[in-house]
Chains A and B, each alone.
Chain A
Amino acid sequence: MEAVSPIVKFTSLQKRYGDGPLILDDINLVVQRDDFVTLIGPSGCGKSTVLKLVSGLSPWSGGTLTVAGMKPREARNRQAFIFQDATLLPWLTAQANAELPLRLRGVAAAEREAQARQMLELVGLGKVSGYYPRQLSGGMKMRVSIARALTLKPQLLLLDEPFGALDEMTRNRLNEELLALRTQSRFTAMFVTHSVAEAVFLSNRIVVMAAAPGRFHGEVGVDFSYPRLPELRERPEFQAKVNEISRLLHEVEGPVRV
């Protein structure tokens, strides 16, 4: 049964803050195991809120939401969250930062040290594990953040615009690394971004959202097979997909009015 049950299931979900206007309306989404679902849409369409709901950080107002068949809060130890900012604790070394979630779960020192070290090596940071965050570049900090999330061996990884603040070269590189890590760690992903090319490169499903209230406008499947190589970005099919998503985004945002 477990294999066919969805990882995340939204049914007619609504969200508002207090008596305020609807932030999200009529959200229906089923995320299956091994999906890489990306949410894309204009600022303020509530795509980050969707991730917050899944992580159990924020309650919803109507409809239902289950994570691995449970309430989001109860499913917390199956998921990990990667924030837009690397959110490393500045007073801890890269190593100690990567160990933090395991430490909070009470994993013994020797074991968490070994696991975190292994993850840091996997993201190519074995040599700088003793550095403090301020000694690391933006891309390296994000790698530590990814390593920290993966030490939990999550079934579901939630990524809220993780590469938004990085330059394009670093961003592309990290996209490739993320997919490579996924073939090893086999996590299901929900990803939020503003970048159409990033969405197409990473995902097998892209959900385009509209704002006020935040809602799903359309879904596009991306059926390039994994593993995906950097060359994919140069292929005409890739560009066609990017154009298709961009068109949907233009529909959502409407014509420019001056």
Chain B
Amino acid sequence: MTMKKTSRFLIWMLPVVSGLLFVALWYGVRAVSGLKSWILPTPLEIMQAAWQERGRLFAAVGHTALGALGGFLLAAVFAFFTSMLLGVSRILRASLYPWLLMLQMTPVIVLTPVIMLWAGPGMPGIITITWLISFFPIVANMTQGLLSADLNHVALFRMCNARRLQEMRLLRLPSAMPYYLTGLRIAAALAPTGAIFGEYMVGNSSGGTGGLGFLVYSYNTQIKIPALFASALTSCLLGFIFVAAVSWLNWAVLHKWHDSFERTDH
């Protein structure tokens, strides 16, 4: 019992300790190397910059969150139906999947000018870029899930003369849920990054009302390095909120039946 309590306490404390060591190392490097604040700001200077810039950071993170959420939701819905198409028919899968893969292999940065041309600058372009980045991991995971339904379950459905639609709705979709949610989790981590990238590439042409990506751009040109670090910290927080939200969704959908939520003794 006491052993267990100690080890749980340790598990919580270890990241705190390693974090403190990292900060100490940071100060050490700064002191020994004599680097200036505008090359390597100290954690304290970053926090001060974050406080000074709090108004702009707050407004920017809201803007970014909107773009990220828009692209993410669009990807989640669109990927869901695309996977269903791919899961239902072997012919569709064979004809579409290689092209989807090719789209995935194309660096988004190459497509940016085209996206700006087609979707327009500002929010529409940002959402398109975020969508493009988040879409594929969801499709790949969910299609895999639809195809990996238990063979005995499939036999059971066939034995009962189940129609294809019943097999999809009552067997394949629920089997694919854990996979879909895994895809969403990967996408949730990518979406804020995608939105910031979109703002950096597309947003600044919309007249300077961009989000974090635009802020990064402008801090960089002004060589406000501590503020740059502060915006990195802010985007990290945004990503954390996204992933936490999907983790909650994962729990809400799966905890009643999925083995990954089985209570264990260790």
Q: B54 interface residue, CB < 8 Å from A?
A: no
User: Is A235 in the interface zone, CB < 8 Å from B?
Assistant: no
Tell me, in angstroms, the Cα distance from A92 to B158 when the chains sit together. 18
Interface residues of A in 83-99 (CB under 8 A from B): 83, 85, 87, 89-92
Give the distance to chain B from A213, nearest Cβ to Cβ, in Å: 23
Number of interface residues of B (CB under 8 A): 21
Which of A83, A92, A101 meets B160, CB within 8 Å?
A: A101
How far apart are B156's CB and chain A's nearest CB, in angstroms?
6
Q: How many residues of A contact B (CB 8 A)?
A: 24
Task: Give CA–CA (A55, B155) in the complex, Å.
Answer: 10
A81 CA to B155 CA, complexed, in Å: 9
Take A81-B155, A87-B150 as given contacts and tell me if A104 and B160 are in contact as well, using a CB distance cutoff of 8 Å: yes
| Number of interchain pairs (Cβ within 8 Å) | 55
Q: Is the interface of B mostly helix, strand, loop or mixed?
A: helix
Known: A132-B257, A133-B257. A89 touches B160 (CB 8 A): no
CB of A100 within 8 A of chain B? yes
Which B residues are in CB contact (< 8 Å) with A77? 161
Q: Which of A76, A91, A104 contacts B166 (CB 8 A)?
A: A104
Most chain A CB neighbours (cut-off 10 Å) among B156, B166, B177, B256? B156
Which residue in chain A gives the minimum CB-CB distance to B151?
Answer: A87
Question: A56 to B159, alpha carbons, bound, how many Å?
Answer: 8
Q: B57-104: which have CB < 8 Å to A? A: none
Known: A91-B257, A104-B166. A57 touches B171 (CB 8 A): no
Tell me, in angstroms, the Cα distance from A55 to B157 when the chains sit together: 12
A194 at the interface (CB under 8 A from B): no
Q: Judge whether A90 and B161 touch: CB under 8 Å.
A: no
Q: Of A76, A91, A133, which is in contact with the most chain B CB atoms at under 10 Å from its CB?
A: A91
* A66, chain B: closest CB distance, angstroms: 18
Specify which chain B residues have a CB less than 8 angstroms from the CB of A134 in the assembled complex.
257, 259, 262
- CA A103 to CA B174, docked complex, whole Å: 16
Which of A76, A85, A100, A105 has the largest count of B CB atoms less than 10 A from its CB?
Answer: A100
Chain A proximity mask over B144-182: 1 for CB below 8 Å, otherwise 0 = 000000101101111111100010001100100100000
Is the Cβ of A91 less than 8 Å from the Cβ of B174?
A: yes
Is the CB–CB distance between A83 and B257 below 8 Å?
no
- Once A90-B258, A104-B166, A132-B256 are accepted as A-B contacts, the answer to whether A81 and B174 lie under 8 Å apart by CB is no
Chain B residue contacts of A87, Cβ below 8 A = 150, 152-153, 156
Name which of B158, B166, B171, B257 has the most chain A CB atoms within 10 A of its CB.
B257
Other A-B contacts than A81-B159, A83-B152, A87-B152, 15 sampled, CB-CB below 8 A, are A57-B155, A76-B159, A81-B156, A87-B150, A87-B153, A90-B258, A90-B259, A91-B258, A100-B160, A101-B160, A104-B162, A104-B166, A105-B160, A134-B257, A152-B160
Please list the residues of chain A having a beta carbon within 8 angstroms of any beta carbon in chain B: 55-57, 76-77, 79-81, 83, 85, 87, 89-92, 100-101, 103-105, 132-134, 152
Give the interface of B toward A (CB within 8 A). 150, 152-153, 155-162, 166, 170-171, 174, 177, 256-259, 262
